[in-house]
């Protein structure tokens, strides 16, 4: 039986994944800022579910979650799903909001990953699932700080799977598009608007008050099924792009990058020393 630790499980994709995992018969430590929001789920699966408070930025709560997992024999799958977002142009957003996003979205995920890896290495089994976003590949004006945190998560996960594969462990990036997770109610505008950004970051900021669930096409329950099946049966996959909107935006980014890479290839090659040999990396 597989044991999962899922962060940010009280709502949205995290909640859907917790329900999927438990319905499939696995063990799960399901966590959130307030575990009481998960008590109903834990009560339905009293022998396989433990609901626990976990602010991923707090070392004591991270340690407590790992201690809880010991009753199941350790963590087989860590899902770093907890994240926060705030909207505004990069110049507009407050220092507090910027640092909070990096603390939760990057350092919280990183610290929890580093905490579970010794046990996974000792058992020679384990998977790290880092929930990124389409914004982790293709950024938008007005959401640059959130995108920066997800770009960071992408970079560390890409290195991580190369470090883990030779010892029988794995890491997976999940890149969802717009899913009906209630994020529109949890996202706030940061800082004071600056008129020069009205057409760019301001447009994104202006959308907040008019967002409705129907504007988010992705179904968290379907995503949870795909994530579960990928973890269990597709060990060679590194990226999992979920949602047609994510596919469109990421494809457009890849096409634009490919075109600029090709057009700049000759001038880029001209910057090497004439007598340089093959690159070391």
Active site residue ranges: 132, 146, 150
Q: E strands within the chain?
A: 3-6, 27-32, 49-53, 77-80, 86-87, 127-131, 170-176, 188-189, 239-242
Contact 38, 32 (CB under 8 A): yes
Name the nearest CA neighbour of 131 among 198, 70, 201, 84.
84
Whether the Cβ atoms of residue 228 and residue 26 lie closer than 8 Å to each other: no
Q: What is the CA radius of gyration of the chain?
A: 20
* b (16+ CB within 10 A) / e for 72-102: bebbbbbbbbbbbbbbbbbebbeeebbebbb
Q: What share of the chain is helix, strand, coil (3-state, %, to 5)?
A: 55, 15, 30
């Amino acid at each position: 039986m597989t044991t999962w630790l899922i962060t940010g499980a009280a709502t949205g994709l995290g909640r859907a994944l917790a329900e999927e995992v438990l319905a499939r018969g696995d063990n799960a430590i399901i966590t959130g800022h307030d575990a009481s929001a998960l008590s109903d789920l834990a009560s339905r699966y009293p022998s396989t579910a433990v609901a626990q408070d976990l602010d991923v930025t707090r070392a004591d709560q991270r340690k407590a979650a790992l201690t809880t997992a010991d009753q199941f024999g350790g963590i087989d799958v860590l899902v770093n799903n907890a994240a926060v977002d705030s909207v505004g142009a990069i110049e507009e957003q407050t220092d507090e909001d910027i640092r909070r996003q990096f603390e939760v979205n990057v350092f919280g995920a990183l610290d929890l990953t580093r905490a579970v890896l010794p046990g996974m290495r000792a058992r020679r089994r384990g998977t790290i699932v880092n929930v990124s976003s389409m914004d982790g590949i293709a950024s938008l004006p007005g959401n640059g700080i959130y995108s920066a945190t997800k770009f960071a998560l992408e970079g560390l996960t890409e290195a991580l799977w190369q470090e883990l594969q030779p010892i029988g462990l794995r890491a997976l990036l999940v890149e969802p598009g717009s899913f009906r997770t209630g994020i529109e109610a949890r996202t706030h505008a940061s800082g004071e608007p600056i008129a020069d950004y009205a057409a760019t970051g301001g447009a994104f900021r202006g959308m907040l008050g008019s967002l409705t669930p129907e504007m988010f096409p992705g179904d968290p329950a379907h995503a949870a099924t795909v994530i579960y099946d990928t973890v269990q049966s597709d060990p060679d996959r590194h990226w999992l792009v979920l949602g047609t909107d994510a596919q469109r935006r990421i494809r457009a980014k890849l096409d634009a990058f490919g075109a600029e890479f090709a057009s700049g290839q000759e001038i880029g090659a001209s910057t090497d020393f004439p007598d340089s040999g093959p690159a070391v990396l």
